[in-house]
Every structure is written in structure tokens, then in C-alpha cells.
Amino acid sequence: MPQLDINGKTVAVETDLDRSLLSLLRDDLDLTGSKYGCGEGQCGACTVLIDEKSARSCITPVRAALGKKITTIEGLEKSGRLHPLQEAFLETEALQCGYCTSGMIMSGISLLRKNPNPPREEILRQMEGNVCRCGDYLRIVAALEKAARAIKEARK
């Protein structure tokens, strides 16, 4: 039976493999943190990490993800502690309705893994694929900057 590696767990997949990864995550596996926004690969609400890189799960067929390491927002918490970027989103109140938040955080993590200390310009450029309809962008950028500082502090 085909298997997926989701948040470090091996999951057997008994479904039509041509479905979108997002639909499998939400409807079958109850991982509803990834959101269905536009469904057309425009808004970024469905962002997950595939082999550590941010990707839109609404335009990723399940079959294309077989054998790859998938991380969703549910996979970020480690032994009861949120990821520093999740903490930073809460502390800076970087959300209003919250629908874009998990996608924003997954894109942000992809960015911080590539560049742990991104200048503001780089944050703006690398977060271009995620849309916030509430317009909370300034706080989202602030949250990313805060998380970058927190990660740096934690490494000292």
C-alpha cells in the first residue's frame, strides 16, 4: 500500500492518489491546519513543507508526494513547545481572522531554514506567495523578525 511520511509518521494511504494532498490532509487525516483558500495555487493558505521546501498542497497530487517528507503546521510543536515562529505570531498578534496564518508560518519556516537572519527586503520577497486578506502584513513581517531573533538567541 502506498505510504506518506507526514510530520514524521508513516501513513498508509487508501485513496485515489490523483486527489490533492490538501484534500487528503484535511478530509481523510483530519489535519485541518492547512487551509483551502482559492484551490488554484494562488493564495498560499494550503502551504506545507515538502522535503523542507514550501509548496502549495492544493496543487500537489498525493502521488507526487509519495516518498517525500511532508510537514504541516501540526508537525511543528516539539514536546509541548510551539515553534519559535508560532510563538512570535502569537506575541505580535500577527493574525486577525487567522485563515492565512498556517500557510504564512509554513512559508516563514521555509525562509528561516534557508536564511536564519533575513533582512526585511528578503522577508518581503520570500513571503510573496501568501496572501492575507485582513492586511496584517506589517505584523507578519514583525513576527518573522522576532522569530529570527529568538532562534538566534536560543542558539547562543
Partner 1 sequence: MIPRGFEYFAPRALNEAVSLLQQLGPDAKILSGGQSLIPMMKLRLASPPYIVDINRIPDLNYVSEANGSLRIGALVRESDLEISPLVGSGYRLLADTTKVIADPLVRNQATVCGNLAHGDPANDHPATMLALEATIVAISPRGEREISIRDFFTGLFSTALQPDEILKEIRVPTPPPRSGGAYLKMERKVGDYATAGVAVQITLDEAGVCQRAGVGLTNVSFIPLKAAKVEDFLKGKPLDAAAIKQASEIAAAESQPMDDIRGSADYKRDLVRVLTARALKQAIDRAKGGA
Residues that bind partner 1 (CB under 8 A): 17-18, 39-42, 44, 47, 53-56, 59-61, 63-64, 107, 110-111, 114, 125-130
Of the pair 81, 116, the CB lying nearest partner 1 is at 116
**Min. distance of Cβ 139 from partner 1 in angstroms?**
19
Of the pair 128, 153, the CB lying nearest partner 1 is at 128
**Min. distance of Cβ 40 from partner 1 in angstroms?**
5
83: left (phi over 0), alpha (psi -120 to 50) or beta: beta
CB atoms within 10 A of CB 128: 9
CB atoms within 10 A of CB 135: 10
Express the helix, strand and coil content of the chain in percent, nearest 5 each.
Answer: 40, 15, 45
Of the pair 7, 54, the CB lying nearest partner 1 is at 54
**Min. distance of Cβ 137 from partner 1 in angstroms?**
11
Question: Taking Cα atoms as reference points, which of 71, 134, 133 lies closest to residue 105?
Answer: 71
